[in-house]
Chain A
Amino acid sequence: GAVVSQHPSRVICKSGTSVKIECRSLDFQATTMFWYRQFPKQSLMLMATSNEGSKATYEQGVEKDKFLINHASLTLSTLTVTSAHPEDSSFYICSARGTQGARRDEQFFGPGTRLTVL
């Protein structure tokens, strides 16, 4: 149980285009989803926290107009990188948090999406 999927797993796009990444919790309802960014050989940096039905909360230094997050249901959150540029190339990972009891603190991570902007 507690599976999180991401789509696509890999995307290559031209500079200036927008890219949408989907994050789904497959077998549980996720009140909260998190989006992270990871550069090669570095740690995960939290970009934003999204709660179903409300606006995402962005971490300091993350442009909310650049990285649009929508959490329309308890099983789906999307991250749209608008007008992508080469410096946006990175590994984007989502996670989902359940709401039940002792596992309420646990985040379940997706497999990640490799974005390459040419």
Chain B
Amino acid sequence: QQQVKQSPQSLIVQKGGISIINCAYENTAFDYFPWYQQFPGKGPALLIAIRPDVSEKKEGRFTISFNKSAKQFSLHIMDSQPGDSATYFCAASTSGTYKYIFGTGTRLKVLA
């Protein structure tokens, strides 16, 4: 019940295309859902985060779509660029513990 399932494991997208990564959870107590970007040998960096009271949040080229009833959320990267090639992790946490449960990660490669 504490797991966060992430798919796909890897993704190849052409430059200018849309990259879509999906996550699903079971624990309805989760109330904070961030997405992180990680480059090889570096720590993760926050991209965007959402709480269950909204269904969509957009920041620049990054959009989170959140479906509370389906317990799913996804990251959309518009106009994908080669510089976006990295590993992306979704996570979920609950207020109180603030501990993150991370998804398994998606390795994105954007072709020039």
Contacts and interface: CB of A to CB of B under 8 A. Distances in A.
Contacts, number: 56
16 contacts: A4-B43, A41-B107, A42-B105, A45-B102, A46-B100, A46-B101, A49-B97, A97-B98, A104-B98, A105-B93, A105-B98, A107-B34, A107-B46, A109-B36, A109-B44, A111-B42
A34 B99 contact: yes
Contact count band on A: 20 to 34
A84 B32 CA distance: 35
Interface of A: 4, 6, 32, 34, 41-46, 49, 91, 93, 95, 97, 104-112, 114
B46 A106 contact: yes
Interface of B: 32, 34, 36, 41-46, 49, 89, 93, 95, 97-105, 107
A49 B99 contact: yes
B41 A114 contact: yes
